Structure 1
């Protein structure tokens, strides 16, 4: 008489799947890989998660709710914009560099076969949403007077997002935390120089108009 199938913890299985997709990407993980890592039959994986794609999407959502939520945490609250951006970049480096993991949303579906194009498009939406969240935070800083009115927050937000996603690529390539942090230092120095010069110029214009 055959024994009953071994029970499994769905949340643990999802975490294992997340780590596997994070390391190898969507295309790099087969159903046999999932069977081996999760330790359950493919029929039970389908019963629990629906499909490989559904499992992947749920794994991405888990990543964003936990490890990948660092950006939302950094951008929220009452911190000044310099500190918010710095915290976001530093947290990214801390997450991305161990094991050369990078960002799961950036690396897990960069190149997808035609039949998996929907997965790549879905991840692109997530990356665009991250860019927009940075732009929104910069706009708040502009409205509060931290950033001068003539700064293009959309262009600056695009630069910040490129920096953030670039840190992921560099980390996957094996660039160490020291070099990545030095890169952040340079970026933030340029950010401060640009906004400080603009603020000084604005104050000088006000003084000159008063003198006239």
Structure 2
């Protein structure tokens, strides 16, 4: 039987006791669900905590923040190549930077420097080793890092009589950290001769 318009049924009206019972039931469900979690939820929480506590990998030293010991006069100094890695096996990251004075023509000699980041991340990286000084009058054509071995293809001149646009000495130089310093080794120089 349907109620007449305007007539209320007693059991369809909400009472404060109904609201109290509903709130109690919902609270019980929430309490039980917070105590009973699937195993994956605990593992995920532990993993997130481990990731949060893990040390952040240090960024490679930026050669753009370094003042190199190269006098270019009125020209700027260019960082032409760089490679980064753990060169000494101590767990830190170093950068090997190849620099040379900017020139519109010709190939100025290169300098090759190893940079390390001080413990203060806001401090500029510092030069910890010079692998190749510009005074050696060699130009780096390519540089590579394989494991902890730095290798570079360089070119230069066998004598002051060789035209500056035609380097005649080409060799590969390698550096590796051994006994607390970088040790250099190289393949024999390939010096071009006339008629070759």
TM-score for both structures, normalised by structure 1:
0.24
When Rg is computed on C-alpha atoms for both structures, the one with the higher figure is 2
TM-score for both structures, normalised by structure 2:
0.25
Structure of greater relative contact order (alpha carbons < 8 Å, 6+ residues apart): 1
More strand by share: 2
